[in-house]
Chains A and B, each alone.
Chain A
Amino acid sequence: MELDIVELSRLQFAMTAMYHFLFVPLTLGLSVIVAIMETVYVMTNRPIWRQMTKFWATLFGINFVLGVATGITMEFQFGMNWSYYSHYVGDIFGAPLAIEGLMAFFLEATFVGLMFFGWDKMSKVAHCVVTWLVAIGSNFSALWILIANGWMQNPVGAEFNPMSMRMEMTSFFDVMFNHVAQAKFVHTVSAGYVTASVFVLGVSAWYLIKGRHEALARRSIAVAASFGLAGALSVVVLGDESGYSATHTQKMKLAAIEGMWETEEAPAPFNLIGVPDMEERETKYAVKIPVAMGLLGTRSLTEEMSGINDLVIESEKRIRNGLIAYDALMDIRAAKGDATPEMTARFEDHSDDLGFAFLLKRYVEDPRQATEDQIAMAAEDTVPGVPQLFWAFRIMVGLGFMFIGVMLFFFIRANFYRMSFPRWSLWAAVFAIPTPWIAAEAGWFVAEFGRQPWTVDGVLPTALSVSHLSVTQVALTLAGFVTFYSILFVIEMGLMVKYIRKGPFMDVPETDAWTKRHEGRLSGRDFTQPAE
């Protein structure tokens, strides 16, 4: 396959973003779990909770540093590989990124050092506050990044300025309170909470299987199961909210996820499973649940949902509209500051569809010269890869429900069965460790691949967003990232495993004494059996 600069840049962005997101969800969740543990320590004064805090914080640190390091790549890559995008929407997109730095990242990064090194330098309460500030900083970070990303999915509060040839902000309020962004934020941090909970659960389960650090492991499971249950419920509910908002903002993405080619009569059925076929334009062997899609997507029984084929027709209309805007824009530009009111009016009437005219740039230098065939091809381009979305979505949702089940099970065993966990369930928890990462990556894939062919939905096509670079340059950095990131991944995993195997270090002498004293009542029994 011949890769052009757009494909290579996309590949590099996808790779570095997905790699970055291996570390982010664990940071989001584990920061809160560690803060919860430390709060319990401050409140109860039991050394075991201090030991737990320090142990999980060590693993947090190994993960956190790579999240931070690979985040730098994200912040720079827009300018490096997507320079036209940066020019075109930087006026809106840059602001949340900068505010993220000001409000959130500074907070988390400044205090994370104290969190690790400040134990003996301040009071217990002060240290606990520091740990919470790290957690709050991480989570606020996610808020602003998702406001930026939400704007790419649903570009509100902005309009095109013909004088500066770019989108400019008209309402910061609209950008900030973009409902797509808000739903995404809660969905994403909840996913982080689930990830960290599954991680803590799995590692603790492994300790129980090996009969090590039982005091630490049991308590960690109790925290992880409660926190994880709340997170798993929230992730599914807010995922549904994201789907609902897509009904109105990204119809094409939703139709593709659903493999719904024709507009169905309301209320539409839901394709539980099936084999979408891009060539034949149908979803074969579909198992349909009547009414479900209409209910989920529109929360009504009467609202219709458009299928892919009708949406393509809609796109074609918008391309023709966009051509009028493009023509007016060229007139305004040729007039060099002396645009007539007629030109401006013609432009403003159609400027919402300007981006659709840009879709033609892939085929012809001047979109106004496009043939009917080219317009039809550009309209067809607005359909993202249906089978990929269809399956990635189902993997994510399936795992989402699985997390609810797992967390509920451990929550019940921890609270009502005196912390007794059947051996099979402990093994299951260990093997479940990678699953939240699979779900999270699948989720991002649905969000971003489903946005294609746009970088900013309906505003700027991906093919136009790239920098003017040579294939060699991008291929070189791509190879560099692959090599460099692979090495770092091996090192990170090696250290994670080493520190998990090593277990908590007995840094506090009283922890040992305390554990011996209190484990008296727990000793002499098998953890797979209920107490007494």
Chain B
Amino acid sequence: MILHEFLDFEVLRVIWWLLLGVLLIGFALTDGFDLGVGALLPFVARTDVERRVAINTIGPVWEGNQVWFILGGGAIFAAWPPLYAVSFSGFYLAMFLILAALILRPVGFKYRSKRQSETWRAAWDWALFVGGFVPALVFGVAVGNVLQGVPFRLTEDLLSIYEGSFFGLLNPYALLAGVVSVSMLVMHGAAWLVLKTEGLVADRARTFGAYAALATIATYALAGLWLAAGIDGYALVGEVVTDGPSNPLMSEVAKGGSWMAAYSERPWILIAPIMGFGGAALAYLGFKARKEGWTMIASKLAITGIIASVGLTMFPFILPSSIEPTSSLTVWDSSSSHLTLFVMLVSAVIFVPLILAYTAWVYKVLWGKVTAKDVMENSDSVY
């Protein structure tokens, strides 16, 4: 096949780096509010009917939303195999935790209301809380670790050897990043609940949402300052080959500069943190002013900005190595082959617009608030 040569390897790598961002943001925007609702469940909904109302706002859509996450995993595997191999095996026990939480969640949705027993339902409510809170926290913790560099090295055969421990992941900066992630997704979940429910549940969600928006602003600012002041950045040294073979060991990397150097090299990327702060501030105002639609949009803006700021700050690094910087994975040395990236791009160009179209249609069909009356009347068929 010659067709793929029409697009440079370098260009394809950048496109797939962007698409990786799109997938992560897509995941946070859709499944993110599911996780947020899960984490909020015990607090905004106290009675059984209230809980069912909250759960049924995401009932018909969580399954599709979760595919963003699964597709994210698949796309990392296909487009960035070294990243998939190093991070998934390195964060082994953390990944297991996420898996367990994410298995618990769908089962919780589906099975919770299938029995009348109060103990049964209380147990699943707890599972739904864990299934929302734990992934939200662990994703943030993972990002916090990536920014500091991860203790792995590659052998000459490119086998990844991880030297850290599970508890090493739970360092102060990573935990702060975890709190950013939880605040942001709780804000998003609250925005969704305000949009989709009424009465007490919506009122409580409004209160929690406003606090979560404030917490997002505060912790995100703190994480940024800390990153500027106390965390080493990474930089490529010497001639940068952007279309060479995907072998991370072939490039030289130096640790010790500041990640913030990116903002003087590419000042336009400031737009990402501005979106992050601005979006969260608007969401706060939206909660206060009872503008449900605007709150949701502002919350989406904030999440997009916050996630994009991490990627843009680190570019071209994807996964720096703290113990052997030469092993670091960058956009230029840890992608799939030219042909694979092209094949994947073609399928993404065909299917992503289709996915967006039918997802939008499904949300349109399901438009409107979920009420206690709906749940009571369809008690047998809804969650």
Contacts and interface: CB of A to CB of B under 8 A. Distances in A.
Interface of A: 54, 61-62, 65-66, 68-73, 75-76, 78-81, 83-84, 86-87, 90-95, 97-103, 105-107, 109-114, 116-119, 121-122, 161, 163-166, 168-173, 333, 467-469, 473, 476-477, 480, 484, 488, 491, 495, 498-499, 505, 507
B326 to A, nearest CB: 14
A106 B102 contact: no
A467 B64 CA distance: 31
The 8 lowest CB-CB distance pairs between A and B, nearest first, are A79-B88, A90-B81, A113-B60, A94-B78, A110-B64, A94-B77, A101-B71, A163-B245
B81 A333 contact: no
Contact of B63 (A98, A103, A110, A507): A110
Which of B63, B69, B86 counts the most A-chain CB atoms under 10 A from its CB? B63
B139 interface: no
A173 B66 CA distance: 30
Interface in B71-90: 71, 73-75, 77-79, 81-82, 84-89
B89 A79 contact: yes
Contact of A81 (B81, B86, B89): B89
Interface stretch (B220-228, B259-267, B297-305, B338-346): B338-346
A76 B88 contact: yes
Contacts of B107: 65-66, 69, 488, 491
B153 to A, nearest CB: 10
Contacts of A72: 69-70, 73, 99, 102-103
B360 to A, nearest CB: 10
Nearest to A171: B1
Interface residues of B, number: 71
- Residue of B66, B77, B162, B381 ringed by the most chain A CB atoms within 10 A: B77
Contacts of B366: 113-114, 117-118, 121
Most B CB atoms within 10 A — which of A90, A112, A121, A161?
A90
A75 B96 CA distance: 12
B366 to A, nearest CB: 7
B22 interface: no
A468 B81 contact: no
B61 interface: yes
B156 interface: yes
Interface in B328-346: 336-337, 339-340, 343-344
- For chain A, what secondary structure do more than half of its interface residues adopt (helix, strand, loop), or is it mixed? helix
Interface string B116-159: 00000000000000000000000000000000000000001111
A61 B110 contact: yes
B171 interface: no
Given A79-B84, A99-B78, 7 more contacts: A65-B109, A91-B336, A97-B78, A102-B348, A106-B359, A114-B366, A166-B158
Contacts of B162: 468
A90 B86 CA distance: 12
B28 to A, nearest CB: 17
22 contacts: A69-B106, A83-B88, A84-B85, A95-B78, A98-B71, A99-B344, A102-B351, A105-B70, A106-B64, A110-B64, A110-B67, A113-B62, A116-B60, A118-B60, A161-B245, A164-B246, A164-B337, A165-B157, A166-B158, A166-B246, A168-B340, A498-B114
A426 to B, nearest CB: 28
Contacts of B82: 87, 90
B219 interface: no
B23 to A, nearest CB: 10
Nearest to B103: A69
Nearest to B333: A164
